[in-house]
Structure 1
Amino acid sequence: MSDRYQVPPGVEIATQWAWRLLVIAAAGALGIWLLRYFSELTVPLAVALLGTALTISVVDWLNARGLPRLLSTFIVVITMLLAFFGMLALVGQQLSTQAGDLRSNVVEGISQVQEWAKDGPLDLSDTQIEGWVDDVKQSIASSDTTILTRVGEVGDTVTHLVAGFFIALFASFFFLYDGQRIWSWVVALFPRTARARVDSSGHTAWVSLTAFVRATVIVAFTDAVGIALGAWLLGVPLTLAIGVLVFLGAFVPIIGALLSGMVAVLVALVAQGPWTALIMLLVVIAVQQIEAHVLQPFLMGRLVAVHPLAIILAIAAGVTVAGVVGALIAVPLAACLNGVVRHLVAGAREYQDEPEGEVDLGPDPA
């Protein structure tokens, strides 16, 4: 063949890389599609894994003290349920006792806005304001079908949440009680020559996930106490409810506690006016600065070793793929992948550093 028809080496190399990258991208897209298609199953399992990573050490501790593992698992799962429903009860109790006062503040605030619209720089007349109010009422009245549709969607969502809750509950129980046997079965699905690395990579990922969950709980508790204490000192209502919301929101690193803290600012604005809301905003910012410059570097940096930029990118990718649930799962997934990659790279270096002729290949599979 003539030289002018030969493919340049650079193009050949680029082509080989290109089709391999396309295959990897297609496999990744298929995996993401499958996870989203079976989200009613995969999301509860992911939540169960996070809960298991948080509480597995307690089960092991109780088991080491002589309690049967089944009884230890029951104690931990029941404690988790009591803690979860206890937080919901606190929120419900505060809403039931203080919602009336907050509603009065909202009505008073709307009246003040109307007065400002008339007497302030807008200089609106009563006729214009009443016309806008009538337009809002007409829009609400003309959307009965939409409201019914939304109610039906909410009903479906509640059904899925209840089903997901029980899936996560039972999965957590069996992960805590029989997790090692489940993992051994998963490892056995791989070829015999790859099982050792799969097993070691899985344990490395589990260590990273456990460290991430524990660090996140500490950060979330600190955020919740700081913002709730600031709200209590300022006399903002729904203090405990705000604390619970911040604690749950902080499981989405960096942005979760900030967004949930904005709820505290909004409640302060409605209940006590703009100056209290401004001070509440400063409290939220101060707590976020402590998290970003003290807790995150000390805990996340040392225990999880994930760069803040990687955390931001992981959250953005998670939100794009699966919304709030994606943001919740993205960072622990990134932490696990980071740990596994570090482990495999370290293993490859050890393999390369072994003297020629002394490489241990293990027993012959035959």
Structure 2
Amino acid sequence: MVSRSSDTSPSIDAGAPADPAQEAHAAAPFRPRLPWPSRSSDLVTPSMSAFASWSWRFLLVIAAVWVFAKIVGFLATVTIPLAIALLLSALLTPVRNWMVRKGMKPGLAAPLVFVGGLVVVLGLISLIVQQFVKGAPELAKQSQGGIDQIKDWLASSSLHITDAQLNSWLEKAQQWIGDNTDKITSGALTTATSAAHVIAGFLLTLFILFFFLKDGAKIWQWVLRFVPDQSMGSINGAAHRSWETLGGYVKATALVAMVDAVGIGLGLAILQVPLFLPLAALVFLTAFIPMVGATLSGAIAVLVALVTVGPVKALIALGVVILVQQIEAHFLQPVLMGHAVAIHPLGVVIAIAVGSITAGIVGALLAVPLAAALNAAFSYLYQKAPDPEPELEATEQADPKATTER
């Protein structure tokens, strides 16, 4: 009969032979057996798992943005007029709403605002073209005298450039033009094709703009039909916040363009530069193009001053252009654009750079308002997002028993 001691281990009869394997196992040190991982995720540290989760989500977002950009670029003939019409609508819709508040019918206010805006833009373009055509003969005469002054100034300066050297450079330029006639002709054909696309895009922009002014609210309500009911309020609020931001951006840009045109035009008028009025109008129109527009119009103004009133006044005109642009960059842009767009200047520069790299001048034109609209929408959604902490505290206060048990 086997007797049991006070502990749980069984006793062994004294007369039973000892098992060598059992004795070796008993003499071996105790080593706890580690549990084998039941899942492969148990082999990954929490930090690595979090990094992997962020990585595949980030790659998925980048892929979605890339596909969306490719689709937008493929449909650029439609998407670019649509975006420009949206910006113009953000500028003209407040005027249309003001006319409606004064008692005018919406069906009449929209066409009047559309025609009025079209008359203003076409009037400025017509003023520029007519004044340049009208002043071309006088400009040619003054240009010849200005060129002679430039030659005399170059000859009497420390550069000592003679007429023979200038004539030699002109002959080389003419020879280069003759040698590259085929390239210039093909470039002209490409420009003509691009001009046809520009005209088609302009007409499509006008068509879209008219219906945005006339039925913008109805179009947006139709778009909301494709949004789930639980997200309709958030999407509608974010869209309205983006729309207000776009309107502020366009109005601030128009004000900055007006200041540029008045400042540069007044400086050219004081210097008695011919065609200062169409040059000021050109500055106003090109100021809507970021980075390139102000530089291009300022260079044209300085060039006209150089060939008409001489190099000294041209340098003064250059100083006026630089002064006005510096006031714009360091005072007007931070104050007006910062208030309207609510984006850090570094973000504005990065947005313009990315837009210009991906879509050229059009991308630079649309990059800042697009970034401003997205920033306004995401800010609204972030502010509207529920905070879990107050809800948790409210639950604990409502149920003190649950808090005690926990």
**Fold match (TM-score > 0.5):** yes
Question: Is 2:150–2:311's contact at 8 Å kept on the other side of the alignment?
Answer: no
Among residues 124, 132, 140, which one is paired with 1:87 in the alignment?
124
Q: TM-score, normalised by structure 2?
A: 0.80
Go from structure 1 to structure 2 and tell me whether the alpha carbon gap of 1:135 and 1:295 turns closer, same or farther (over 3 Å shift): closer
Among residues 232, 240, 243, which one is paired with 1:195 in the alignment?
232
Give, as a single letter, the amino acid of the residue that structure 2 aligns with 1:207.
E
Is residue 121 of structure 2 the alignment partner of residue 67 of structure 1? no
Instruction: Give the structure 2 partner of residue 32 of structure 1.
Output: 69
The count of aligned residue pairs is 357
C-alpha distance in structure 2 between counterparts of 1:15 and 1:171, whole Å: 45
C-alpha distance in structure 1 between counterparts of 2:233 and 2:41, whole Å: 49
Larger radius of gyration: 2
> How far does residue 290 in structure 1 lie from its aligned partner after superposition?
2.6
> How far does residue 41 in structure 1 lie from its aligned partner after superposition?
0.8
In the TM superposition, 1:1-366 aligns within 5 A as 6-110=43-147, 121=159, 126=164, 131-253=168-290, 256-348=293-385, 350-352=386-388, 354-356=390-392
C-alpha distance in structure 2 between counterparts of 1:7 and 1:71, whole Å: 67
C-alpha distance in structure 2 between counterparts of 1:4 and 1:301, whole Å: 48
> How far does residue 203 in structure 1 lie from its aligned partner after superposition?
0.6
Give, as a single letter, the amino acid of the residue that structure 1 aligns with 2:113.
V
> How far does residue 114 in structure 1 lie from its aligned partner after superposition?
5.8
Gaps of 5+ in 1: 360-366
Using the TM superposition, name which of 285-294 and 267-276 deviates more: 285-294
- Identity score, percent: 39
Go from structure 1 to structure 2 and tell me whether the alpha carbon gap of 1:137 and 1:29 turns closer, same or farther (over 3 Å shift): same
> How far does residue 109 in structure 1 lie from its aligned partner after superposition?
4.9
C-alpha distance in structure 1 between counterparts of 2:166 and 2:362, whole Å: 41
Q: Deviations over 1:268-294 (max 9, x none)?
A: 222222221221122122222332343
Give, as a single letter, the amino acid of the residue that structure 2 aligns with 1:321.
T
> How far does residue 137 in structure 1 lie from its aligned partner after superposition?
2.3
> How far does residue 159 in structure 1 lie from its aligned partner after superposition?
1.1
> How far does residue 176 in structure 1 lie from its aligned partner after superposition?
0.7
Q: TM-score, normalised by structure 1?
A: 0.88
C-alpha distance in structure 2 between counterparts of 1:316 and 1:233, whole Å: 36
Question: Is 1:254–1:292's contact at 8 Å kept on the other side of the alignment?
Answer: no
Q: Deviations over 1:207-265 (max 9, x none)?
A: 11011111111111111111111111111122122212211222235664344223222
Question: Is 1:246–1:261's contact at 8 Å kept on the other side of the alignment?
Answer: yes
> How far does residue 46 in structure 1 lie from its aligned partner after superposition?
1.0
Give, as a single letter, the amino acid of the residue that structure 1 aligns with 2:243.
W
> How far does residue 357 in structure 1 lie from its aligned partner after superposition?
9.4
